[in-house]
Amino acid sequence: MKIADFDYLLPEDLIAKRPLEDRSSSGLLVLHRNGAVEHRTFSDIVSYICQGDMLIVNNTRVFPARLTGLKENGDRLEILLVKEKSPGIWEVLSRGRYTGTLRFSGDFSAELRHGDTASFQDPGNLTGNIWKYGNMPLPPYIKRSPDARDKETYQTTYAKKEGSIAAPTAGLHFTGQLLEEIASKGTKIRELTLHVCIGTFKPVRSENVEEHAMETEYFQIDQELLSEIRDTKSAGHRVFTVGTTTTRALEGFMSGHCTVNSQNGKIKGSTDIFIHPGYSFKVCDSLITNFHLPRSTPLMLVSAICGREKMLKAYQEAVAVRYRFLSYGDAMLIL
């Protein structure tokens, strides 16, 4: 299977630059397995989820991982915090291979080595400084600078566990009220954690799909959730996963495509599972997701659920009726 098989024309003006004021008023394209399409509003999702079903969300919290400072010669340089390797020492992304001091404020600086490692002074106060001076890591296709509002809007209403450098964007559409409506129907709402890493920005370079390697991402799942999933499915009810990140955490574990350790009723580990057409889902019966970039791994994952041709046809219809695309855009429900 070729990467080119997952291409489509995405007009620049359909890429959402900002979210809607009312999260749940986003558009919702409902795609059925037989290829039928419905056009609804996201708040209508309540009517598709039934008593006894389960809705699983990713409760990761995005932190403002973009820091801009001054180099020793006075030039500005932005870094993206990727992963903390040890207290105060981070793997980062930046342009060039700068080595030297990068100052973010009078008393907040880092020593960069080769543009990919940053050592911060006073790691005990590092989190506070990051939130004070950092910006949210909006994806590069949102061609504007992040602002203070993004620290709230580029975050799900149920975000709890800090660690992502990208939002699990399918969850951005849920409000507290909408989740209460879903729960009132007798639907079980459960959480897990998967911290989205730099792989979300990594383009697919290989010509053949199977040759692409995913970055590992940390996840945490309660063991009790796995029992609840088995009970839900054995009773003939459905598991709705919110977003490709929730899906990858569950499918990565259930397929054994992960490294894990268990303690105190929690499964902690990492997965680099790459889901594309041909994969047999172990957990996900229905998926809530956003519209994804052409040739991207999330697009391949959603295509694995209902088939590449049906997915691309639905995307063509979404473009034609002018849905809003990507992180701050509209949503899909795949039944």
- In tens, the pLDDT along 127-148 reads 999 999 999 999 999 999 999 9
Domains of the chain by residue range = 3-62+151-334, 66-134
Question: Which segments in the chain show pLDDT lower than 70?
Answer: 200-201
DSSP string for 79-140: EEEEEEEETTEEEEEESS---EEEEEETTEEEEEETTTEEEES-GGGHHHHHHHH-B----T
Q: Note the pLDDT of residue 201.
A: 67
Q: Say which amino acid occupies 234.
A: S
Q: What is the pLDDT of residues 79-101, one digit of tens each?
A: 999 999 999 999 999 999 999 99
CATH fold, domain 3-62+151-334, is: QueA-like (3.40.1780)
Question: CA 11, CA 14: separation in Å to the nearest integer?
Answer: 6
At residue 263, the pLDDT reads 85
Segment holding 261, helix H or strand E: strand 258-263
pTM of the model: 0.95
Q: What is the pLDDT of residue 199?
A: 77
CATH class of 66-134: mainly beta
pLDDT of residue 171: 98
Q: Which residues contact 183 (CB under 8 A, 6 or more apart)?
A: 189
Give the C-alpha separation, 218 to 163, whole Å: 9
Distant-in-sequence, close-in-space partners of 237: CB < 8 Å, separation ≥ 6: 50, 52, 53, 54
User: Radius of gyration over alpha carbons of the chain, in Å?
Assistant: 20
